[in-house]
Amino acid sequence: MTHSNSLKRTLVAVALAGATVACGDDTVYPPPPDTFSFTDEAAEIGTLHGVVMTSASHARAIGVNGSIDWDGTLWTDFATGSTLELLGISAAPDETIFAVGRDGLILRDEGSGFVAMSSGTTEDLNAVSGVAANSAFAVGNRGVIRYLQTSTVIDWPSNTTEHLRGVWMESDTLAFAVGNRGLILKFNGSGWTDEVIDTTLNFRAVYGFSAADVFVVGNSAKIYHYNGASWQPMTVPNGISQRALLGIWGPTPTDVFACGEVGVMLHYDGFAWTRFIDNIFTAQNFEGISGSAGDDVLAVGSGGTVVRYDGSSWQKELSDLGSVVYRGIWGSSASDVFLVGPFAQVMHRTNNRWRFMAGGRPQQLNDVHGTSPSNIMAVGDEGLIMRFDGTAWEPMPSGTTEALNSVWVESPSESWAVGDNGTILHFTGTWNPQPSGTTKVLHAVWGLSASNIYAVGNDGLVLNYDGGGWNEVATLNTVALRGVWAASASNVIVVGTGSAGQSNVFRFNGTSWGAENIGTVSALESAFGVSSNDIFVVGLGGRHQNNYLDAFFNYGEDGWIRSSASTFGSYTDVWAPSGSSVYVSSTSTLVYRGTKN
């Protein structure tokens, strides 16, 4: 999602053709001949507020950016028909899914997608619980309660103006709702009665198993249990008293999970609550939890985080948090851009905003390329390859477990991928290995045609495919080549990492390779161009004494031009729909969209 307060920065470009610049250079350069204005955009899943599992192979989560759906293989974006934030979700035993959110939004999915229901209120609805497609309660701010029937929504009096945060429905004659100031409401089939436990508490969620077995959780890590006669406080582990508990779920009364702020995750075995200690439980707030069994549990929360418990350990499936690095970016047009990164996450920019598209595997995706909106390949670690056909992303068998670092798509029936240990794969309907003649890491691949393709890698290695096989055509004086792009057979650009006395940009003129001095010793990660005079190079960025940041370069009629923006970070990949527009991925969830002034 694009930040509403996006920081717009101007990159002042300086012509550097023929200049030699070192980290201690004090040279005063002439006024810049060109500028690019950049806007940072956040490519994020966004906070997830709730999740529900309807079976071992299906789940749905909701949050600030709508809904995502898990089909047993991947998480994908799921249409809601609304731009409003969703705050609560649940499923009835018949697998009808209900979701509620801002401004009184109510959605119901009976198997064919979400359909909106008129709630008759503009108050935020925070939680929902149902026992059938035609029987569910939604609760929200200022004591609002709505009863959902087949085609109508009934306003049910609550006799309170307190915000209601959670609801659990056991049957048409039994339900509990909880809210601020220690409020607990009980429904008996004809109306709601209230009980206040502690006015200093705000209860956040409720879940039960029968009329005599109900749990509520709230601020200050408080948990209360109802035995059919009274509410009793439960003892929780030490060290969490300052954390609010935000969600609760369990398959049985002796196998209950609760989650909360700052990575708090608890389990109740019928005797005592214990805390899960895991390094994936860090700064995120877990707001919702659900499962299909005690050894198949999902929890979701801030930063688009999704974690799964398999009965022995927790594993992260999605996240915007931590050391998130998006390594590949490509678009079919300026309004159709794809970004790939951790957990096989694919982000998509359309309608001027980034949205989560697919993900949920442990592998990092390293590159993406295609020929059209319906023919796109992405490759990643452990041999992961995913293909988009215009409708859905699907994993493909690759036949390798080596990390794949780059992909070039020539047509719907032909693609190439390269990776670690000299791996080269060729797609002609299925992926098959090709002899490379090397065990060096190959970082990038790019082609001019099906019979003229370049791959580059460690130790300055350059390979070329001539239609018959791969051959080493150069070993350039550099540590590693990490990017390649070609305008023609006589204009091939490779970039990489050089040490002292080495270059990090080389050009092939059709006859020989020559070093290009663009005035930086920093590591360069990627190159992309739209013509011979519109080439972009990006890298990890090393700052010069005179405040130049070696992260973004553009080759044009005036030669190589370097950014002087000292506030930008490190870049991982670049793609441009034209010489006046460019997209750059980075070592965070930020994408930089540049426009030539």
Helix H, strand E, coil C: the string for 574-591 is: EEEEECCEEEEEECCCEE
- What is the 8-class DSSP label of residue 549? B
Q: Are 100 and 88 in contact (CB under 8 A)?
A: yes
What is the maximal distance between C-alpha atoms in the chain? 89
Domain contains 331: yes
Domain contains 198: no
Q: Is 317 left (phi over 0), alpha (psi -120 to 50) or beta?
A: alpha
Could you tell me the pTM of the whole model? 0.90
Tens of pLDDT, residue by residue over 327-365, are: 999 999 999 999 999 999 999 999 999 999 999 999 999
Q: Are 166 and 177 in contact (CB under 8 A)?
A: yes
What's the domain count of the chain? 1
> What residue has token string 């697998």?
95
- What is the 8-class DSSP label of residue 325? -
pLDDT greater than 60 at residue 7: no
Q: Give the Cα separation of 481 and 485 in Å (integer).
A: 12
Spatial CB neighbours of 338, under 8 Å, sequence gap ≥ 6: 329, 330, 331, 346, 347, 348, 349, 357, 368, 370, 376, 378, 388
pLDDT greater than 60 at residue 16: no
Closest CA to 122 of 106, 99, 98: 106
Q: Give the Cα separation of 226 and 26 in Å (integer).
A: 73
pLDDT greater than 90 at residue 132: yes
What is the reported pLDDT for 321? 82
Tens of pLDDT, residue by residue over 297-334, are: 999 999 999 999 999 999 999 998 877 889 999 999 99
Domain contains 563: yes
Domain contains 21: yes
Domain contains 218: no
Beta bridge partners of 5: none
What is the reported pLDDT for 81? 96
On average, the pLDDT of the chain sits at 90
Domain contains 35: yes
**What are the tokens at 339?**
């970004």
With H, G, I as helix, E, B as strand and everything else as coil, classify residue 382: helix
What is the reported pLDDT for 1? 36
Strands 265-268 and 255-260, how do they pair?
antiparallel
What is the percent of the chain with per-residue pLDDT over 90, rounded to a whole number?
78
Tens of pLDDT, residue by residue over 362-375, are: 999 999 999 999 99
Helix and strand element counts for the chain (H, E): 0, 57
Domain contains 560: yes
Domain contains 193: no
Range of the domain at 376: 8-43+323-596
Q: Give the Cα separation of 346 and 393 in Å (integer).
A: 9
What is the reported pLDDT for 373? 97
| CATH number for the domain that contains residue 496 | 2.130.10.10
Residue type, 8: K
Tens of pLDDT, residue by residue over 28-81, are: 444 334 467 788 899 999 999 999 999 999 999 999 999 999 999 999 999 999
Q: Give the Cα separation of 47 and 303 in Å (integer).
A: 5
Tens of pLDDT, residue by residue over 427-446, are: 999 999 999 999 999 999 99
Q: Give the Cα separation of 354 and 221 in Å (integer).
A: 35
What is the reported pLDDT for 298? 98
More confident residue, 498 or 185: 185
- What is the 8-class DSSP label of residue 6? P
> What residue has token string 């090393």?
542
Tens of pLDDT, residue by residue over 499-522, are: 766 778 999 999 999 998 887 767
User: How much helix, strand and coil, in percent to the nearest 5, is found in the chain?
Assistant: 5, 55, 40
What is the reported pLDDT for 501? 67
**What are the tokens at 374?**
């319906």
Q: Are 257 and 265 in contact (CB under 8 A)?
A: yes
148 phi, psi to nearest 5 deg: -95, 120
Rg (CA), the chain: 28
Q: Give the Cα separation of 548 and 564 in Å (integer).
A: 4
pLDDT greater than 70 at residue 549: no
Distances 7 to 210, 493, 591 between C-alpha atoms, Å: 52, 32, 12
What is the reported pLDDT for 546? 41
